Structure 1
Amino acid sequence: MPDTPDQQTRAAVTRRVVAHVARGWPQLGEPVVRHRGQFCYVSAVLPGRREPTPILRLRYQGSADRWAIAIYLVSGERYTESELPASFGPRTGTPEEGVDHAFILYAGPSSHP
């Protein structure tokens, strides 16, 4: 299993994250998605803010459909995989599941059923 996603996987995941945020949270505009090593970082401009706020980090698990999900804790200015509420489901999943788990905490429920 490769340690980091290849360029094709990174591009596909970026497209998936942008599309999922656009469907569920259109009021936020296009999220900022960047990749570094095994990580994919997602930020968005939240209501009342001018600059993007870190929201989510995905850690590659060897497949475009399997990532460890970490939320950004503003209080500690860090990402954590261990403090995702258990009621939200598993701590690994698709990029879309990661968006759903983290964005609801920062921007409220998805507008997409």
Structure 2
Amino acid sequence: MPATIDQATRTAVTARITTHVKRGWPRLGTPLVRFRGQFCYVDAVLPGHRQPQPILRLRYQGSADRWDIGIYLASDEHYTESELPTSFGPKTGTPEQGIDHTFILYAGPGTQH
């Protein structure tokens, strides 16, 4: 697995995440997407908050369409790939699946896509 994510993938994934959040959770505004090493972090302004809050961490699996999905646990202030409820689907997927599986826990159901 590459230690870092190439710039073309970063740009494409940022656009995909931003578009998906604006379409599915428009009340949250534009997400904050950042990269570090093999990870992509996504924050959003949740209802009742003024600043972006951590929501999701994606671990790169060598393709823009394959990531391990990790949710931010505010209670412990860390990300985990093992705490995502299995009822929400696989723990590996696209950035859009990561958004769908984690944002619903923090922000409630999104709009119809």
Fold similarity call, TM over 0.5: yes
1:22 corresponds to: 22
1:3, 1:60 within 8 Å by CA — same for their partners in 2? no
Aligned-partner Cα distance in 2 for 1:3–1:64: 14
* 1:60 aligned residue: 60
The 5-angstrom pairing of residues 15-94 of structure 1 reads 15-94=15-94
Separation of aligned partners in 2, 1:50 and 1:41:
19
Whether the aligned pair in 1 keeps the contact of 2:9 and 2:64 (CA below 8 Å) is: yes
2:9 counterpart letter in structure 1: T
Amino acid at match of 2:47: P
The CA deviation string for residues 34-70 of structure 1, in whole angstroms up to 9 with x for no partner, is: 0011000000001111111000000000000000000
* Unmatched segments (≥5 aa) in structure 1: none
Identify the residue that residue 97 of structure 1 maps to in structure 2: 97
Count of residues in correspondence between the two structures: 113
Structure 2 gaps, min length 5: none
Structure 2 distance, partners of 1:99, 1:31, is 11
List, as ranges, runs of 4+ consecutive aligned residues in structure 1 with deviation greater than 2 Å.
1-4
- TM-score normalised according to structure 2 size: 0.97
Matched residue of 2:71: which SS?
A: strand
2:2–2:38 Cα contact (<8 Å) kept: no
- Measure the CA separation in 1 of the matches of 2:18 and 2:56: 13
Equivalents in 1 of 2:38, 2:2: separation in Å? 9
- How does the TM-score come out when normalised to structure 1? 0.97
RMSD: 0.8
TM superposition shift of 1:33? 0.3
